[in-house]
Amino acid sequence: MRLSLSLLVILPIFLSLKGVRSHGIQPLSTIAIYKAVIAIDRKASIKACPSGQQKEWVTLTYSIQNPKIDDWVGVFSPSHFSASTCSPENIIATPPLLCTAPIKFQYANYSNPKYKSTGKGSLKLQLINQRSDFSFAVFSGGLSKPKLVALSNTISFGNPNAPLYPRLAQGKQWNEMTVTWTSGYGIDEAEPFIEWGPQGGEQRRSLAVTLTFDRNSMCGPPARTVGWRDPGFIHTSFLKELWPNSQYTYKLGHRLLNGKYIWSQTYEFRAPPYPGQNSVQRVVIFGDMGKYEIDGSNDYNNFQPGSLNTTLQLIKDIKNIDIVFHIRDICYSSGYISQWDQFTSQIEPIASRVPYMIASGNHERTWPDSGSFYNYMDLGGECGVLA
């Protein structure tokens, strides 16, 4: 018994070391964005055409003088990123010229084999609602010496503040479920709550608590510098005294100061059985999943395309799953805060239906002198705040 216990403890540590070496590189960190210069070429152009609230495909068309094989397109959100607000990473470093890393990127030739000769191309990218507008830029000079040559129009979702990405967690009591979600509404602007109840039965409202954090809560770069992005507001509500095995529905709500309501779509979940009840509970346990972009962007060194396969398989099997444990190494954001919204969006079809329990690993928590066991810089300065 003792032996198996210590094995359980040693295994994750071994895996984390492996994680550090083999698949821990955040693709966005391969861009030397702090070296980027702006050199708008009047003859170059890029235009974005949105096609629909929560997820949307956009088509970008661009035309560039002197195209090169390593030209790339970056997606920025908020759309206005400027050189004026950058602070240096430390007193010796010169301030970055571009203060903000893109939220994703793709090579300009991605779907255009003739790009190198024509300088013309187009790209289909999927955007998710991340509480801000978007702009797109073409860079020459590859990832290591980026030079911004063309900037697009800006586009945005109908309601950038919309309540999104609910994730359930089993509460402290067997008959309690917590719901956490993200929105752009602070508590001075709107009261957050959940409207919930038995499926088809009377619905009631439970107030939610709200948290957020700022750049100074981050331990270091890039989370404090080019990887920083406003996380919006994170709300949590506690649904109590659930009836065993009953099906419940819920909606995320915000009541604005003017009395108007903002609603999410309706979601559902099943309450757990009571303790000791004869039942089968189907549990899925994994770690090291990561995230991936369905449009193929951020694909550096085949970075975690498998995470999408795992997610899609779980969604397909969701009727046969009662609870999920993602035990660590959650999305490998590595200090690029935008990646967390993209991760919560990727797992929403799972986490909004069954409790999605997480634990922190080296990729969430490790940072020198921050109280973590190891002193690596695996998480890019997030020091566990995001997880």
Ligand X SMILES: *[C@@H]1O[C@H](CO)[C@@H](O)[C@H](O)[C@H]1NC(C)=O
The number of residues that bind ligand X (CB under 6 A) is: 7
At its nearest, how many Å lie between ligand X and the CB of residue 291?
Answer: 14
Distance (Å, rounded) from C-alpha 181 to C-alpha 163?
Answer: 7
- To ligand X, the closest distance from the beta carbon of 229 in angstroms equals 26
Of 79 and 304, the one with the shorter C-beta distance to ligand X is 304
Q: Which is nearer to ligand X, 84 or 117 (CB)?
A: 117
Return the beta strands (E) in 199-246 as ranges. Answer: 204-211, 233-239
Closer to ligand X at the Cβ: 142 or 171? 142
Nearest in space to 198 (alpha carbons), one of 246, 245, 241, 265: 246
Residues 263-322 that bind ligand X (CB under 6 A): 309
189 binds ligand X (CB under 6 A): no
Short-list 166, 164, 208, CA closest to 184? 164
107 binds ligand X (CB under 6 A): yes
Residue from 40, 69, 93, 256 in contact with ligand X (CB under 6 A): 69
207 within 8 A of 237, measured Cβ to Cβ: yes
Which positions from 353 through 382 interact with ligand X, judged by CB under 6 A? none
181 binds ligand X per the rule CB under 6 A: no
Contact 62, 138 (CB under 8 A): yes
Q: Which is nearer to ligand X, 264 or 310 (CB)?
A: 310
Neighbours of 245 (CB within 10 A): 12
Q: Which of 109, 298, 304, 362 binds ligand X (CB under 6 A)?
A: 109
Residues 15-54 that bind ligand X (CB under 6 A): none
Tell the smallest beta-carbon distance from residue 71 to ligand X (Å).
8
For residues 340 and 333, what is the distance between their CA atoms, to the nearest angstrom?
7
DSSP state of 96: P
113 binds ligand X (CB under 6 A): yes
* Burial status of residue 205 (CB atoms within 10 A of its CB: 0-12, 13-18, 19 or more): middle
- Contact window for ligand X (CB under 6 A) among 53-61, 108-116, 170-178, 338-346: 108-116
Instruction: Reduce the DSSP state of residue 283 to 3 states and report it.
Output: strand
Distance separating alpha carbons of residues 95 and 103, to the nearest angstrom: 20
| Sites for ligand X among residues 70-89 (CB under 6 A) | 70
State the residues that interact with ligand X by CB under 6 A.
69-70, 107, 109, 113, 116, 309
